[in-house]
Amino acid sequence: SSVAQISFPHLEAFVRGGTLSSSMRRSSAASKKKSDSITSSTTDLFRSGPSKATSKEMDRIDHLFNQYANTSSNLIDPEGIEELCSNLEVPHTDIRILMLAWKMKAEKQGYFTQEEWRRGLKALRADTLSKLKKALPELEKEVRRQSNFADFYAYAFRYCLTEEKQKSIDIETICQLLDIVMGSTFRAQVDYFVEYLKIQNDYKVINMDQWMGFYRFCNEISFPEMTEYNPELAWPLVLDSFVEWISEKQA
């Protein structure tokens, strides 16, 4: 199976969770969803909304939700997300899906609750699949704005914390996440850092502070000269070692 190579964190969690039953259930769940979505939209007709337009919009958003949601859990689960991706014609490893999660403020990796779905899609003014598809480039622009990106970057880390009280993320996941989040803007830094993380033996996991440190490093330090880098400052030690490693490599 190709599951092991899938490099998207949503699915990582899915694989880690090892929900064998859910994947077996796949076909039956998909058929169940359809019937469910019809019932929920009919009941909604009798609901009194604040205004007709907004309630209509919300109806359509919910309708879309129900198309992908698992009826038993009332969540869009990893399979639902995979289906959504293919309908949006976006690879599930695409950064835009993570951006969508950020916009929804999705808390649990690989799952969207109805509340999160409504929050995200309402903000994007997308109540149909095609509108959502069209909203994605706008969303990417929004996230890439300097003021939002740091928040998004931090969100990406938190989003990968799947366990209770988990504070750090294993190196392999970090490398994949870096590639997705920073790969297009700081290609060289990401490549070097990923290479370094894979050969070093001092760190098995990366914590939030180190994660944010790398973000500052990319933004503040010219690369590959790194003349501004001062190891006497409070850079995380892993970056000190990283810079040392590059310098040795360059020499």
**Site residues (CB under 8 A) for another protein?**
167, 207, 209-210, 212-213, 216, 232-234, 236-237, 240
If the CB atoms of residues 80 and 236 are measured against another protein, the closer one turns out to be 236
If the CB atoms of residues 141 and 167 are measured against another protein, the closer one turns out to be 167
Tokens of residue 208, six digits: 């939030």
If the CB atoms of residues 167 and 187 are measured against another protein, the closer one turns out to be 167
Nearest one of 218, 147, 148 to 178, comparing CA atoms: 218
If the CB atoms of residues 135 and 239 are measured against another protein, the closer one turns out to be 239
Nearest one of 202, 230, 199 to 216, comparing CA atoms: 230
In one-letter notation, the amino acid at residue 61 is I
**What span, in angstroms and rounded, lies between the C-alpha atoms of 85 and 134?**
13
If the CB atoms of residues 34 and 167 are measured against another protein, the closer one turns out to be 167
Distances (CA, A) of 203 to 150, 159, 206, 246: 24, 21, 7, 17
Supply the minimum distance, in Å, between the C-beta of residue 234 and another protein.
3
Residue pair 111/97 in contact (Cβ under 8 Å)? The answer is: no
Mind giving me the DSSP string for 105-154?
A: T--STT-B-HHHHHHHHHHHT--SHHHHHHHHHHHHHHHHSHHHHHHHHH
Could you count the other beta carbons within 10 Å of the beta carbon of residue 38?
12
If the CB atoms of residues 81 and 238 are measured against another protein, the closer one turns out to be 238
Residue pair 26/15 in contact (Cβ under 8 Å)? The answer is: no
Distances (CA, A) of 136 to 6, 69, 98, 107: 22, 20, 11, 20
If the CB atoms of residues 80 and 213 are measured against another protein, the closer one turns out to be 213
